[in-house]
A and B are shown apart, each in its own frame.
Chain A
């Protein structure tokens, strides 16, 4: 039962009036001498119970009449799919993440979700207002309009390869409703497979009714959840490498993985259950390499093929100046592995400067990696050299001392894992000397201070400024497993452009395009103009995107779905409650059930007529009973 005006139930408090009158009516009356008291006692004993019952019945009738008035005023109704309802503002959160592309009996789950949304619109009234939120595309503006426009907007939404944060989407819906519902009732309709991984966060602010539709059953899925080339360090030109492909499988069946490189089948491997296959990559000359790993298609095809791209570059020529024995040893190890070559001044790709003198007179084509001195007294000389080199940054002793750790690294690759346990005892503050000083933060400490900055150089190229000396007294990096990958990353990609692996992007994530980029070509061949050097959002469709400068290929970006989208386990009630702790959540599993529970403030099938009839009946009975008693009183 619902109530259209629940506040009028307060009228029910008036039920206390007949109670009070009943109590006040019990006046003692005059004292009358009466010797035949025994007959009165006998009458009371034998008939008094009936009289009391009649009095109580009269009282109950009066209380009932008041309660019926209050209830009728509150306008109760029986929720029914066929009934109309009070004007309602509805935010439809439509889950279009990759997992909703799973098919059952030839029908995609997303299509069922969309049909449920259409059922909502079919039951809508002319005064309802709608918002449509595509949960997997949070960057997409919510559509708001009447039901006809929303019906058309539903046709434009489709499954994407992005993941969804359902709690965030519901929180966004709640904000929209709070701002735009006005006097209407507000509801959030969450149409989703309620994937457990999509409910990892919590929406504290969503304190509205949330009506969730999710299908029964849980399909088994397998998919390729990660492809990694060389553990984040792609092979150099002429160097063989490895590619690993991780698989998620809900069953223990054996899957066949096939590796395709540049449009040609390259290799195959078999994997059972959750596991990974490692493919050998043959040595190749420099250039961009693209491909994909695929497995047998299942009901969710989006994760059965995963693209990748990497760049094969010749080993850079590197030289180190200054007193930095650990850095020198790491570079020696990289040279021994063929990752770098030792170069001489004038032909260097990268110069690692471990003292102030090394910063001076570095050619524009040479990338610079600045390692600060251990002795803070030498910072002044280093800052002078930086200024002389046109770098608007300076080192300053840290305001506070204390141990810090590295903040998590985006991509969670091998370097990030190796840096996670490393502590930093001393890190200088890197301060821009100009208001327009630009820099990309490559590594950050847990307290927010930058540890590695990439700074553009006036003549082109870039410089990487480290915040700590590579000395065990300042940081644990030199003595950790992170030292060699860090130096490889510094000299191989961070200090240079186009020198390393192209990262695999998740749909919706952003990446900075090369400064000369003019357009991006999608897998289907459509080109989109872009601004060079500007952030670019990875599209919701997985695939290989070609970054172009006019007609020249600058880079290839692989966009692949999040691994979590391959895990189709449903969230249980507890997880749903954790994600939406303040919402009044109701769930439905069928369209029929759905139409019963949505539009909670139903106006149709109101009960006021029934209540009014009951009220009249109660008043009639009360009048007869009261008149009878009044007649007896008046006779007396």
Chain B
């Protein structure tokens, strides 16, 4: 088996800072996905049908039943046969590109939340496409900014990457309206993956997610958080300014640190407690964490969907 392509370290275990040094969105996403798949030693791909499409090199985790032994006899290499298949899942990845997503607590060292969201969305898309699912993409702030319809096929990934590449942070966070719009547009049931910092209106966002569930969609929420949002910065006193609204709040940081951490934990717990009963998976991902955690969460969800 070719293991040299994975490099000395699996990309899905690299920190975002290390990932960013690898290159552009496509390369990073591809290497993340490949590293991830190598780690789980089993292919999650589905959708193999009877109409042959092409061969591709064997990858760890591929079902041995699909190895083309004739090609092995001729070339002494392992190939698996791929077929044009009907997708059995339509997934839509929603990426929050509001102004707050463009923030990093340590610019230059930590990526912005949007960078992380783009990488996550690209990696997920690749995973989905590789297993034969159709993937759509929506980039939004308080409105839908860009939308790619859900389609299968590996060539579709390039279009998704182009859309993600052009996404810039701006506008105000309002998850509810785009979610409602998407819910209305998605006629076929499928998987909806929301990647957001969830700094919009909580009640409205919850309502919109419940609405998606009501329409029969499976929902997976990635709550992207900068580590600087989990704990207050090391300052004495400061005036904290909300970038989207300009709202200002003077705070004695030293005295509020513990209280702030507790407030964040409480808010996350509230999200979890509100979403789980609805069957919505909720995953908090830090922009300082490797992608593999998020991808495992997806995989867990995908396996339950069958």
Contact = CB atoms under 8 A, between A and B. Distances in A.
Given A39-B267, A633-B254, A30 B241 contact: no
A30 B237 CA distance: 7
B21 interface: no
A43 B247 contact: no
B56 interface: no
A51 B263 contact: no
A39 B242 contact: no
Given A36-B264, A44-B251, A633 B241 contact: no
A31 B251 contact: no
Contact of A32 (B199, B233, B262): B233
B54 interface: no
A23 to B, nearest CB: 14
Contact of B236 (A43, A47, A55, A636): A636
B237 A29 contact: yes
A43 B257 CA distance: 9
B235 A29 contact: yes
B273 to A, nearest CB: 16
A75 to B, nearest CB: 39
Interface in A1-55: 27-44, 46-48, 50-51, 54-55
B254 A629 contact: yes
B250 A28 contact: yes
Nearest to A632: B254
Interface in A270-305: none
B256 interface: yes
Interface string A318-335: 000000000000000000
A526 interface: no
Nearest to B257: A632
Contacts of B199: 35-36, 38
Contacts of B103: 33, 35
Interface string B237-267: 1111111100111111111110110111011
A636 B241 contact: no
A264 interface: no
A55 B251 CA distance: 13
B255 A632 contact: yes
A32 B235 contact: yes
Contacts of A41: 249
A552 interface: no
A435 interface: no
A628 to B, nearest CB: 9
Nearest to B243: A33
Contacts of A55: 255
A31 B255 CA distance: 18
A31 B260 contact: no
Nearest to B102: A35
Chain B, interface residues (CB within 8 Å), range = 35 or more
Nearest to A35: B100
Given A28-B250, A31-B248, A32-B239, A39 B264 contact: yes
Nearest to B240: A34
B181 interface: no
Contacts of B237: 27-29
B256 A47 contact: yes
Most buried by A among B229, B241, B263: B263
A44 B249 contact: yes
Nearest to A42: B263
A36 B260 CA distance: 10
Contact of A43 (B238, B248, B262): B262
B236 A40 contact: no
B141 interface: no
B277 to A, nearest CB: 22
A34 B259 contact: no
A29 B236 contact: yes
A624 to B, nearest CB: 15
B266 to A, nearest CB: 8
Nearest to A30: B238
B197 interface: yes
A36 B232 CA distance: 10
A45 to B, nearest CB: 9
Nearest to B199: A35
Contacts of A632: 254-255, 257
Contacts of B243: 33-35
B3 interface: no
B234 interface: yes
Contact of A47 (B247, B259, B267): B259
Given A28-B250, A33-B103, A35-B100, A43 B239 contact: no
B247 A37 contact: yes
Contacts of A48: 256, 259
7 contacts: A35-B197, A35-B229, A35-B242, A36-B197, A40-B263, A44-B259, A48-B259
Interface of A: 27-44, 46-48, 50-51, 54-55, 629, 632-633, 635-636
Given A42-B266, A55-B255, A635-B234, 15 more contacts: A27-B237, A32-B233, A35-B103, A35-B244, A36-B100, A37-B241, A39-B260, A39-B267, A40-B232, A42-B263, A43-B262, A54-B255, A632-B257, A633-B254, A636-B254
Instruction: Give the 10 A-B residue pairs with the shortest CB-CB distance, closest first.
Output: A632-B254, A47-B259, A29-B237, A35-B100, A43-B263, A34-B240, A37-B242, A36-B229, A29-B238, A43-B259
